[in-house]
């Protein structure tokens, strides 16, 4: 009787540990999209949309193939607005491995890219920031060029990085 009770407790503890660990994993990787005002002056202005690799053409037809060939698993995207004016789009590409993320980042990179401390590697332009961290490739693009656009994009990018 005593042994049976101990086994029950042990089983319950194992279940709890598993649940906590599972929740922890999900938190770490599930939603890298900062909520409104999680980053100063940034508002999340759309729902997050998710595209499986086979459906990526619906989002970026014509560009999808290069991501698919680099091993994209899924792509999540959402729109943001900075100070109620500057519109931007945040894309998070989940690749099958870090090599895929590196391939995409290096393919699109050019001499005018400014290296930034983000994730494993990152670059910034006047209106966009791109970085990779493990199997994730993150691209944030603003639709206008303003004086503070790059700094604002970098602030958002750091918040995304922290959630990956």
Partner 1 sequence: MESRRDFLKTAATGALVLGSQSKLGLAAGLDQRVQTGKSKVVIARDASLHGTGAQPDEKRVQGLLDRAIAAYTDRDHPVEAWKRIVRADKVIGLKVNGLGGKGVSTHLSLILAICERLQQAGIKPGNIVIWERNARDLQACGLTISTDPNRMRCYGNDVAGYEEQSVTWGGSSVKLAKVLTRECDMVIGLPILKDHSMAGVTFAMKNMYGVVERPSELHGDGCNPGVADINCIPAIRDKVRFTIGDAMTSVYDGGPGFHPERLWQPNALIVGEDRVAVDHTAWQMLERKRAEVGFPTFEAAGRPPRYIATASDAAHRLGTNDPQRMHLMEI
Name the residue nearer to partner 1 (CB basis): 28 or 114. Answer: 114
Of 66, 81, 102, 164, the one binding partner 1 (CB under 8 A) is: 66
Contact in structure between 105 and 137 (CB atoms under 8 Å): yes
Q: Does 148 bind partner 1 (CB under 8 A)?
A: no
63 part of the interface to partner 1, by CB under 8 A: yes
φ/ψ (deg, to 5) at 162: -65, -25
Burial (CB count within 10 angstroms: exposed 0-12, middle 13-18, buried 19+), residue 35: exposed
Of 41, 108, 155, 163, which one interacts with partner 1 (CB under 8 A)?
A: 108
| CB neighbours of residue 18 within 10 Å | 10
Sign of CA dihedral 118, 34, 153, 50: positive
Please choose, out of 4-12, 13-21, 25-33, 58-66, the segment that lies near partner 1 by the rule CB under 8 A.
58-66
Binding range to partner 1, per CB under 8 A, among 10-18, 30-38, 96-104, 141-149: 141-149
**Near partner 1 by CB under 8 A, which window of 16-24, 33-41, 95-103, 139-147?**
139-147
**Residue given tokens 């943001």 in the structure block:** 80
């Amino acid at each position: 009787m005593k042994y049976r009770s101990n086994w029950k407790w042990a089983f319950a503890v194992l279940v709890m540990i598993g649940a906590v660990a599972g929740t922890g994993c999900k938190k770490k990787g599930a939603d890298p999209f900062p909520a409104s005002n999680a980053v100063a002056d940034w508002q999340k202005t759309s729902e997050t949309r998710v595209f499986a690799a086979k459906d990526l053409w619906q989002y970026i037809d014509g560009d999808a193939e290069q991501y698919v060939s680099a091993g994209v698993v899924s792509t999540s995207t959402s729109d943001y607005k900075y100070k109620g004016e500057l519109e931007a789009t945040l894309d998070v590409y989940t690749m099958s491995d870090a090599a895929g993320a590196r391939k995409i980042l290096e393919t699109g990179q050019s001499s005018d890219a400014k290296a930034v401390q983000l994730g494993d590697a990152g670059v910034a332009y006047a209106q966009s920031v791109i970085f990779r961290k493990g199997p994730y490739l993150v691209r944030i693009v603003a639709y206008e060029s303003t004086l503070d656009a790059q700094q604002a994009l970098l602030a958002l990018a750091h918040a995304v990085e922290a959630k990956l």
